Structure 1
Amino acid sequence: MILIAMGVSGAGKTRIGEMLAERLKCSFTDGDAFHSAANKEKMHNGIPLTDDDRWPWLRTIRAAIEEKQAAHEDAVFTCSSLKRSYRDILRAGDKDVCFVYLKGSREVLQERLQTRTGHFFDPSLLQSQLDTLEEPGDDEAITVSIELTPEQIVEETLSQFRAR
């Protein structure tokens, strides 16, 4: 089983992904680690990524997912996965890949980004991500509000996952 915590920057993907991995006793991999230096530089400078910037990044994450599957290991990944076409690359038709959409209002996301330190993402890019976001439906992801506490988000995610 592969869980992918998804959503725009500031949604808490890394924190929730780490907590889910701890609860599930499996590995955690942050999708940001797979961004090229050029992608990170663009985002640091407030330049939105294009699909052409994202395709190699997504394929690299998919390869890491396949490595976990080949080793018969469960894992939690994070990836913004903003568009259905991006999620299709990551899922690649696998029934054991499950997305967890961390959904929040622009106001909450903006507040979080303004107080975050040590990340390459320029907060001015939030609107670009929201404009790009194609929210997944119930057929595609578990949706959990980021207005819950991190512990509640993990509990709600696991509850919805078990119900599937």
Structure 2
Amino acid sequence: MRAVCIMVMGPSGVGKTTTAKAIANALNWTFAEGDEFHPASNIAKMSAGIPLDDQDRQPWLETIRDWMTQKSKEGVNTVITCSALKRRYRDILQGTEADLRFLQLDAPVQLVGERMSRRSDHYMPLSLLNSQFDALEPLQSDENGIVISVEENPEQVVSAALQALAPNI
């Protein structure tokens, strides 16, 4: 049986890290921050306010996919964050040998902007927020995943996510 990987996805600022860490803690699974898989060149671009293009993202997505596969081969269930904004990105990620389930976090752009304006410890500038929402292609019915609103507090979001994921994990 393949190990399960829950990928918490969505635009920057929706609460991927907070949600993913809480889910990993609740399930006692391994957590990984997808942003840590970015090469230095991608971080430099984003820090300079330059959106990444598909060519920039390709090796990053492949590295995440390969990490999920390795953890699955080790029998380790995981929770990882990754924006995974476009279907073609998710198609690359679905090449993993893990049993991948997407958890898309959904919120109005205004709410996310307010949240991002209050944080100072992230390289993604507020100026790139609209490009993230413009690029977002929501999960489709043939993708293995669920969509959860993050308009509530983090505890309620995690509870709703765990409840929705429970039948399949």
Please, what TM-score do these two structures have when normalized by structure 2? 0.93
1:13 aligns with 2:20: no
8 Å CA contact 2:72, 2:97 repeated in 1: no
Instruction: Determine helix, strand or coil for the equivalent of 2:36.
Output: helix
2:120 maps to 1:120: no
Structure 2 equivalent of residue 78 of structure 1: 81
Residue 93 of structure 1 deviates from its aligned partner by: 6.8
Distance in 2, Cα, partners of 1:53 & 1:95: 24
Q: Which residue of 2 aligns with 1:146?
A: 150
- Structural RMSD (CA): 1.3
Q: Which amino acid aligns with 1:46?
A: G
Q: Which of 31, 41, 45 is the aligned partner of 2:44?
A: 41
Give the CA deviation at 1:138: 4.2
Instruction: Using the aligned pairs only, state the percent identity.
Output: 42
TM-score (norm 1): 0.96
Counterpart of 2:74, as a letter, is A
User: Which residue identity is paired with 1:55?
Assistant: Q
Distance 2:138 2:103 in 1: 11
What stretches of structure 2 of length at least 5 have no aligned partner? none
User: Residue 99 of structure 1 is aligned with which of 99, 102, 107?
Assistant: 102
AA paired with 1:111? Answer: E
User: How many residue pairs get matched?
Assistant: 164
The reply on whether 1:63 has 2:72 as its aligned counterpart is no
Paired residue type of 2:167: A
